[in-house]
């Protein structure tokens, strides 16, 4: 077994990421179909995907030292989407791909201006939203304040708050990610 560890931003990495993008796209499109297993290949890279119970990929024996963690980041399946495992496939040998960036289908809520992020309307008040809350399109999720002007930031579409990317009182720049929403149609 070999492990494949690509340096950040190498051409190999771009190839891997584009193959992954194809695979993710197919996964979405094949949702609800009877396809159990498929593979995407390009050049030397191949990803095989098989339907199964949701489970993180167990690290291959001997692949690394640290228990439960692959050398360059998240286990692949964490980004591949629910209900999938990844079969072994790697450049000219078996092994496991790892990508540092998880695949993200979440909707980012972006800062519309430069200023300070506030999670509530006033200090001490209840936050507009917490992780896990469902929000509707147009619903205020936070405030970005600039020069004493409070600007309400709204959700662009319906969803569920998945993660807050900044903390109350943080400075943010234009289009900085404030939070992630899971899209409403799971």
Q: Which residues bind other proteins (CB under 8 A)?
A: 113-115, 146-147, 149, 171, 173-176
Minimum distance of other proteins from residue 13's CB (angstroms): 20
Shortest approach of other proteins to residue 151 CB, angstroms? 9
Beta bridge partners of 118: 143
Question: CB 154 → other proteins: shortest distance, Å?
Answer: 17
CB atoms within 10 A of CB 106: 18
Q: State in angstroms the smallest separation of the CB of 157 from other proteins.
A: 20
Q: Which is nearer to other proteins, 42 or 149 (CB)?
A: 149
The residue among 55 and 149 lying less far from other proteins, judged by its C-beta, is 149
Beta carbon of residue 183, minimum distance to other proteins (angstroms, whole number): 24
**Whole-number Å distance between alpha carbons of 170 and 145:** 10
By C-alpha distance, which of 99, 144, 98 is closest to 121? 144
Residue 27 DSSP SS3: helix
Q: How far apart are CA 111 and CA 27, in angstroms?
A: 31
Task: Look up tokens 């286990």; give the residue.
Answer: 75
Between 163 and 171, name the residue whose CB sits nearer to other proteins: 171
Alpha-carbon distances, residue 125 vs 52, 65, 100, 119, 128 (angstroms): 44, 47, 37, 9, 9
Nearer to other proteins (CB atom), residue 131 or residue 149: 149
Closer Cβ to other proteins, 42 or 150, answer by number: 150
């Amino acid at each position: 077994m070999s492990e494949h560890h690509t340096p950040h931003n190498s051409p190999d990495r771009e190839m891997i990421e584009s193959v992954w993008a194809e695979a993710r796209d197919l996964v979405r499109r094949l949702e609800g179909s009877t396809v159990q297993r498929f593979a995407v290949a390009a050049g030397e890279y191949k990803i095989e995907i098989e339907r199964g119970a949701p489970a993180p990929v167990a690290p291959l024996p001997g692949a690394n030292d640290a228990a439960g963690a692959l050398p360059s980041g998240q286990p692949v399946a964490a980004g591949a989407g629910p209900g999938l495992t990844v079969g072994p496939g790697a450049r000219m040998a078996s092994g496991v791909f790892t990508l540092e960036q998880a695949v993200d289908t979440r909707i980012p809520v972006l800062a519309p201006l430069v200023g300070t992020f506030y999670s509530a309307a006033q200090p001490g008040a209840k936050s507009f939203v917490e992780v896990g809350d469902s929000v509707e399109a147009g619903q205020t999720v936070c405030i970005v304040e600039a020069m004493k002007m409070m600007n309400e930031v709204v959700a662009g579409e319906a969803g569920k708050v998945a993660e807050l990317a900044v903390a109350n009182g943080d400075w943010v720049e234009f289009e900085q990610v404030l939070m992630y929403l899971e899209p409403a149609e799971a």
